[in-house]
Structure 1
Amino acid sequence: MTDFAGRLAEVRLAVMMLTRLPVSHLQDPAPSLAKARWAYPLVGLIVGLIAWGVHGLSLWLGASPTLAAVLTLGSVILTTGAMHQDGLADFADGIWGGHDKARRLEIMRDSAIGSYGVLALILCCAVWVAALTQLGGQAGMLSFLAVGVLSRIAMTVCSATMPLARTDGLGVLSSGGDTSWMLWAGLAFVAILMLGWHGVIVLAVVTLVATLVAAIARRRIGGQTGDVLGAVQFLSETSAWATLAMLAG
């Protein structure tokens, strides 16, 4: 397999991993998730483009800003298979529902959702929708692309820097591999340019949110899991939209 074909296979694997979009089967030898991790932020471009399309079409068809925001969040959830929302719910249940590390990890692995998870999802989705409602037509394509990329850079950096909390799961499968700092920094710079001077503030807020979630995970369970990474992505994305809404208001 040539270098280009290998990189293309890694991008396709990243899309398969982070979305429910139809991607043809990979030929053997298929790359590992660890090798495909560098491409995770690129998936944000795809998700952001779909979300922008749904948002713009909804407004064009006469939907209110609130309805358009709800439909847009629904499109994001459908595109990603609710992976990040599920991670946030499991993270909230485990981190605050267990009395020690072992119990917290056990709760996070349980498919059932508890009160902490429900409340975390309700609050986060409400902020997401309210922020996009406030922005309305001001949320253009570049905003959707930038938010999609920055939130997934935050998730990917946490994957590259945090210790593992357990010896199995998606967090383990995505660990190791290339640490493409230059690529991620370049994508972050482009995302900032997309947002103008607001981009610097959005990047600072996303960095702060991701750092806080990572610090809580380190203290309560000893590091990262797939649920932690999902929580980082969705909380970062929500905080980015909230920041843009407050700056615009």
Structure 2
Amino acid sequence: MSEQFEQGKAAIGGWRAIVTDLAHCVRFYSRLPVPTLPFERDAHGLPNFTRVVRVIPLGGLVIGALPAVLLGLALVLDLGPWLAAMLAVAALVTTTGALHEDGLADVADSVGGSTREKRLEIMRDSRIGSFGAAALFLGLALRVGALATLASRLDAAAVMAVVLVVACLSRTAGLIPLVFLPPARRDGVARAVGQPARETFWLAAGIAGGIAVVLGALSGLPPLGIALMLILSGLAGLALSGFAARHLGGQTGDVIGAAQQVAEIAALIGLLTTVHP
């Protein structure tokens, strides 16, 4: 009896840890109003990414929920695929506080730096330069364009599932620099949140892949398209990691944000190549 009680207590503690990590994840990645849980010790501190990584795919689903619903509602109201896609991307940007877009712009601006130190200094500058502005415009245009074209070729339920899958996969792929590269700075958010174990990352990748396969199959997405979303989002994260290793000597929070953006674009375009009019 005592042994069963201890097992039950451990199970409850495990679920509490998962829910707490999910709450920290959603707070960190978005502006969504997540209430303080009764069993949380530090509700508004930086999340510990050595643990939080395992729930990143679930956090992506939470963050993508409102944009997906908004997209589906716009399509049902016959507002057209382009306006629906713009509303969905606007909701994503608003929900996350443009966290990832800021990272993409800062990494793009750093291209103008002549040395590693100068590039890191540029990335810390709150001002946006021409490279950053161009990257922001192109990133938003590619996301809206790909999503709008998908919305014109798929039914509302399927394209809502796409938003959820991409939100899940891209945030998981965005962790690749954090897991496989050392911090580029001695301070900064990327060092403060900790470096996850590779085993934990592969667990998260497996969960994200499972979510993509299940949601994709239920919504009728082509199997090849699902496979390309998985492969290309991962390759995009790896490519951004390789660039950061050569360009900066490691990763920063901006690099992680940029990796999420390129992974999202790659996943959308990969699916689009298999969905024909």
TM-score, length-normalised on structure 2?
Answer: 0.83
Residue 7 of structure 1 deviates from its aligned partner by: 2.2
Spell out, residue by residue over 1:97-150, the C-alpha distance to the aligned partner (whole angstroms, 9 max, x if none).
100110000000111000000000111111111111111151433222211111
Conserved in 2, the CA contact under 8 Å of 1:193 and 1:199?
A: no
Identical residues among aligned pairs (%) = 35
Q: What are structure 1's unaligned runs of at least 5 residues?
A: none
Larger Rg: 2
- Which SS does the other structure have where 1:197 is aligned? helix
Q: How many residues align?
A: 248
2:27 is matched with 16
Partners of 1:112 and 1:184 in 2: CA distance = 34
For 2:230, the aligned partner's letter is: L
2:220 is matched with none
From 147, 151, 154, the counterpart of 1:132 = 147
For 1:155, the aligned partner's letter is: G
2:41 is matched with 28
Partners of 1:3 and 1:234 in 2: CA distance = 32
2:15 is matched with 4
Partners of 2:42 and 2:127 in 1: CA distance = 36
Partners of 1:247 and 1:237 in 2: CA distance = 16
Conserved in 2, the CA contact under 8 Å of 1:40 and 1:156?
A: no
Matches within 5 A, 1:131-150: 131-136=146-151, 138=154, 139-150=158-169
1:50 is matched with 66
From 184, 198, 213, the counterpart of 1:165 = 184
Partners of 2:113 and 2:232 in 1: CA distance = 28
Change (3 A) 1:62 1:190: closer
- Which SS does the other structure have where 1:128 is aligned? helix
Residue 236 of structure 1 deviates from its aligned partner by: 0.7
For 1:3, the aligned partner's letter is: G
Partners of 1:186 and 1:84 in 2: CA distance = 22
For 1:187, the aligned partner's letter is: A
TM-score, length-normalised on structure 1?
Answer: 0.92
- Which SS does the other structure have where 1:165 is aligned? coil
Residue 227 of structure 1 deviates from its aligned partner by: 0.2
